[in-house]
Structure 1
Amino acid sequence: MNQLIKEYKNSLEKVRLAKKRVQIKETEEQKEQYRLLCSMERDLLWSIQWMETGRRPGNKRGVERLAAYQQEISFDPIWIQNYAYTSTDGMVGSRITQTDRERIDEALSSLSPLEREVYLMSRGRGISYSEIAMMMSVKKGTVQKMLERAEKNLKCSKKKSV
């Protein structure tokens, strides 16, 4: 990444030098060249800033703070996957401890049976919303709503238990 940033900065210097040479701007062609070079300079600066900060330029916060990403993950996804596979297969895996299993059971007990099933299919087994909808003979939006309710309930039960 550092090499790429160096190359972009090198290009930026070349664009700035070319821009100084075209500063006369008497003819329409020179004006168009100047506008093009200004645009290139803006784009290079924007790209360099994005690469250096890891964030979209102009944003005060990173993408991790946007509303879509603000949802708290109730459990470690690996725990839920191990829980989903070991609880339905009947095989007890060593990946997840008994206390972790009990904590997950306690939290999932706050969900309705349907919400629990949908939650385990989606988060535990990694099944897509549309596949779950087909299996349950409901619309994809219904599955999404059930998951949103389940996540909300899990979040509330987590706050109560802490």
Structure 2
Amino acid sequence: MRILLLEYKNTLQDVKEEIVQIDKLIEPIAKKEAAKKMTPEDGGQLLELRRIKSALNSDKANLEYAINWMKTGRQPDSYNGIENRKAYEHKSFPPSFFNQIESPVSGSVDEPIKGEAVEYLLKDLTEKEKDVFILVSLGHSMREVAEMTRSKRETVRRLYILAESKVKKRSSLI
């Protein structure tokens, strides 16, 4: 593994040097472009050099990612050793679960408008915040919501407070 890591590091260094060389080639053409003295051949060359630089930057990012992965033994940007965080995230309740929700819009308003108002008010909330906010609004206790969402009660309380502040902020715009 050390040899592979060393080869990746050497390749990364080579790619960085190529990027510097491309920058040196781009610089005089870019000056011509700024001075509006660029010929069509220069334009084609500049376009090609920028395309090559973009590819090299992509290679550089991929190499850095792989090197980081080899050094740490885990996927970069994956916290606490969880390779697929999506597997552990709360799955939102199906829309049919919330058919009993009361609209915060009062008065004799058409049903489509009520739905749009509710959708507008809940627009900024994450899926979990929506679930917590709606369940608590329907009269469930924090403990019950925590059990339903498989979360801690303190997490539910925090999510509810955050969601409530977002909804209040959004409702002040109506």
TM bracket, shorter-chain basis: 0.3 to 0.5
Q: TM-score, normalised by structure 1?
A: 0.39
Tell me the TM-score normalised to structure 2 length. Answer: 0.37
